[in-house]
């Protein structure tokens, strides 16, 4: 009788282990970012004297399954290159057309053209 109980417990354990391993198997499709795009947020304008704010832009990540996801300006890994902007104390000092580059995770980048007015 003990052998039958032991064999039953062993068979049930093998079945449970097999089911749990199958349930934990990762899917063949891993969704990854393929690119990012950006644009000036609706209603935002730039004037001399205004402070540069990352929240002035909206970024969208396109994923490998063709879906999109919005990145917020404070997303970890989203870095702005403001080197070509005319800024003092993070405020625009000259009118003109400028490009703002954003890089996400040191891999995906986009450039947004802006116009700063007087």
In a domain, 60, yes or no: yes
Whether residue 105 lies inside any domain: the answer is yes
- Does residue 75 fall inside a structural domain? yes
SS (H, E, C) 64-92: CCCCEEEECCCCCCEEEECCCCCEECCEE
Residue 4 has what pLDDT? 56
pLDDT digits (tens, 9 = 90+) for 41-90: 999 999 999 999 988 999 999 999 999 998 877 777 888 899 999 999 99
Q: Residue 16 pLDDT > 60, yes or no?
A: no
Cα-Cα end-to-end distance for the chain: 93
Phi then psi dihedrals of residue 66, to 5 deg: 70, 15
Within a domain: 73 = yes
Structural domain span for residue 39: 33-117
Total number of domains in the chain: 1
Percent of the chain with pLDDT over 70: 76
Evaluate whether residue 11 is within a structural domain.
Answer: no
Distance (Å, whole) CA 79 – CA 24: 35
Task: Say if 9 falls within a structural domain.
Answer: no
């Amino acid at each position: 009788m003990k052998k039958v109980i032991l064999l039953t417990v062993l068979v049930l354990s093998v079945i449970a282990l097999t089911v749990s391993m199958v349930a934990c198997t990762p899917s063949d499709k891993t969704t990854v970012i393929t690119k990012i795009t950006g644009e000036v947020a609706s209603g935002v304008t730039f004037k001399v004297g205004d402070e540069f704010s990352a929240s002035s832009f909206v970024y969208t990540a396109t994923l490998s399954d063709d879906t999109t996801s919005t990145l917020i300006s404070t997303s970890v890994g989203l870095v702005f290159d403001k080197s070509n902007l005319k800024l003092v104390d993070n405020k625009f000092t000259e009118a003109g057309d400028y490009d703002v580059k954003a890089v996400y995770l040191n891999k995906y980048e986009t450039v947004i053209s802006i116009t700063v007015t007087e």
